[in-house]
Amino acid sequence: MRVTVTVNDQDYIRDVEPRLLLVHLLRDELGLTGTHWGCDTSNCGACTVWLDRVPVKSCTVLAVMASGSSVRTVEGLERRGGELDQLQVSFALCHGLQCGFCTPGMLMTARWLLDRLPDPSDVEIREAISGQTCRCTGYENIVRSIRHAAESERAAG
């Protein structure tokens, strides 16, 4: 079945089985392995990407359902020219990652949060990432990183 999808501003056309999961389209067909998966039941959120500007768990979306849509993954966070998104900078500065497996999904949700809510409280940050499991950080430095990014972006105007 023909899938036409825009990923990180690049258009792709692929013929796939209807049952192909979006996460596998990204990873196996398009080679975008920055998006991970950690469960089969849409609990862990490692596979979180943007579908039409909204974070979704790509292990529970069929690739064919995304046809005609735009997808943004962690590979699309960097600006052209390699400038990092403020969240990427803040995660590095605040030690917001350890094994790095949950990080892409966390970054995508955090970017969405800050785009809608530039000054989130810690509770709002925690709620936003509550569908995404991290086994390394105890969430503390992820929350700090997101708060740091919010402060930096506000200060930069």
Partner 1 sequence: MTAALTPGTSGRRPDPFAGHASPMGHGNMVRKEDARFLRGRGRFVDDIRLPGMLHGAVLRSPYAHARILSIDTGGAESHPKVRAVITGADLERRGMAWIPTLSHDVAAVLATDKVRYQGQEVAFVVAEDRYAARDALSLIEVEYEPLEPVIDAHRALAPDAPVIRDEIPGRTDNHIFDWEAGDAAATEAAFAAAEHVSSCEMLYPRVHPAPLETCGIVADLDPVSGRLVVYATAQAPHAHRALYSGIIGIPENRIRIISPDIGGGFGNKVAIYPGYLCAVIATSITGAPVKWTEDRSENLMSTSFARDFHMRGEIAATRDGRIQGLRVQVLADHGAFNGTSQPSKFPAGFFHIFTGSYSVPAAHCTVRGVYTNKAPGGVAYACSFRITEASYLVERLVDVLAFDLGLDAAEVRRRNLLRPEQFPYRCATGWEYDSGDYPRAFELALEMAGYDELRREQARGRRTRAETGEGTVMGIGLSFFTEAVGAGPRKDMDIGGFGMADAAELRVHPTGSAELRLSCMSQGQGHETTFAQIVSEELGISPDDIEVIEGDTDRTPFGLGTYGSRSTPVSGAAAVMAARKVRERARLVAAAMLEVSADDLVWDKGRFHVRGDRAAGVGIGEIALAAHSGLELPEGVEGQLDATCVYNPPNLTFPFGAYLCVVDVDPGTGQVTVRRFVAVDDCGVRINPAIVEGQVHGGLADGIGMALMEVMAFDTDGNHLGASFMDYLLPTSMECPSWELGKTVTPSPHHPIGAKGIGESATVGSPAAVVNAVLDAIGVRHADMPLTPAHVWSAIQGRPLRTDLAIG
Partner 2 sequence: MQVPAHFEYQRATSVEDAIALLERYGPESRIVAGGHSLIPMMKLRLAQPELLVDINGLADLGGISLAGDVLRIGAMVRHAELLASVTAGTHFPLLHDAERVIADPVVRNRGTVGGSVCQADPSEDLSAAFTALRATAVIEGSAGVRRVPMREFFHGPYQTAVGPAEVLVELQIPLSNSATLAGSSSAYLKVDRRAGDWAVAAAAAVLRIDRDSVVTEVGIGLTAVGARQFAAVEAEDFLRGRQLTGEHIAEAGDIAAQHCSPVADQRGPVDYKRHLAGELARRALHAAAARADLAIIGRL
Residue 130 contacts partner 2 per CB under 8 A: yes
**Smaller CB separation from partner 2, 41 or 82:** 41
Of 97 and 125, the one with the shorter C-beta distance to partner 2 is 125
Give me the phi and psi of 106, to 5 degrees please.
-60, -45
Smallest distance, Å, CB 153 to partner 1? 8
Tokens 């605040």 -> residue: 94
Q: At how many degrees (to 10) do helices 140-156 and 103-116 cross?
A: 40
Pairing of strands 2-7, 70-72: parallel
Residue 113 Cβ vs partner 2, minimum distance, rounded to whole Å: 9
CA distance 113 to 26: 23
What track of x and - describes contact with partner 2 for positions 69 through 108 (by CB under 8 A)? ----------------------------------------
Three-state DSSP at 32 gives coil
When asked if residue 73 is in the footprint of partner 1 (CB under 8 A), the reply is yes
Handedness of CA 134, 27, 43, 70 (dihedral sign): positive
Using CB under 8 A as the binding rule, whether residue 25 contacts partner 1 is answered as no
| Contact residues for partner 2, defined by CB under 8 A | 1, 17-19, 21, 23-24, 37, 40-43, 45, 48, 51, 54-57, 59-62, 64-65, 109, 127-128, 130-132
